[in-house]
Amino acid sequence: MTQDHHGHGHHHVDAAAGDQRVAWAIAVNIALTLAQIVGGLLSGSLALIADALHNFSDAVALIIAFLARKVARRPADNRMSFGYGRIEVVAALVNYTTLVVLALFLAYEGVMRFIDPQPIDGWLVVWIAALALVVDLVTAALTWSLSRTSINIRAAFLHNVADALGSVAVIVAGVAVIRFGWTWVDPLVTLMIATYILWHVRSEIGGTVRILMLGTPPGLDPEQVADYVESIEGVQAVHHLHLWCLQEDKSALTAHLVLRSGFWQDADAIKARVKSGLDQKFGIGHSTLEMECATHACLQPSRIGSNPA
């Protein structure tokens, strides 16, 4: 009992430390955004303003992630019987959506700057972008460990990685202006930042949508799970099997189990064996099983999912 209490306290300490890291990341990104916008306006660099807007989206992403972390820790209640954990997935989708809008805006501005070039102060661009890179790396360091276990923080972390690369590209653009007077590199870098953002979102958003669409958890095959259940002694067949992600790291299953003739008296023991096996073999910790005897089983049921209406 004492040990369990200690572990619970340790979890709260870890959560509080994580919150503090995210809060610091938000503060430095907002400060940087203001510096970059001022620098972009003074220098005339669209790439620097693009980087500033992306940095601002980092700060917003982190704020959303921070609030979602807080809400996700609420216990289940009458309104949210599964708990609030999935708010982190919603937050990730919001962040990815804002990234897409931002990327399209930057692409438009980049094309317009090609059509109507503007003078640029290369040195100011380089110094501000170098400062941005340092802040991006600090923010990435603050959120990296959290991003490995949270789809929500990972979305914010990817904002930041993209922004660090954007800062490097802006430095290159500034150097090109200083050394060769190539102002066209600035809008080119802006388009590269936009393209990179869209590519990153495309590679990550699928997992977020899968969870919200109640998709099968990655790495789990419903047919394989059904075969395993049917391999347990006393189980004749399984149908109406639903397998989905409750949230990023929690899977759930519901199914109807048809018991063989003569095994009805062992229904509770068979159910316990199936539940234990699902948890140990597939990591499915939340399973709801409806038991049916062979003579009163559903007629022509779907093995996976429910029959169409």
Q: Lowest-pLDDT range, 80-89, 242-251, 300-309? A: 300-309
| CA end-to-end distance (rounded Å), the chain | 49
Sign, CA torsion 231/235/239/242: negative
3-class DSSP state of 121: coil
40-49, 124-133, 146-155, 298-307, range with the lowest pLDDT: 146-155
| Helical spans, DSSP H, in 44-150 | 46-72, 87-115, 122-147
pLDDT at 13: 40
CATH code 3.40.920.10 for 2-212: no
CATH class given for the domain over 222-296? alpha beta
Give the residues across from 30 on adjacent strands. none
Highest mean pLDDT among 98-107, 177-186, 244-253, 268-277: 268-277
- Give the pLDDT score at 186: 81
How much is the average pLDDT of 107-135?
Answer: 83
Query: Quick one: pLDDT band at residue 16, thresholds 50, 70, 90?
Result: low
Q: Does the pLDDT of residue 170 top 50, yes or no?
A: yes
CB–CB of 47/125 below 8 Å?
A: yes
Average pLDDT, the chain: 82
Residue boundaries of the structural domains of the chain: 2-212, 222-296
What does the block give as tokens for 111? 């094309």
- In this structure, the chain runs to a length of 309
Question: pTM of the entire structure?
Answer: 0.70
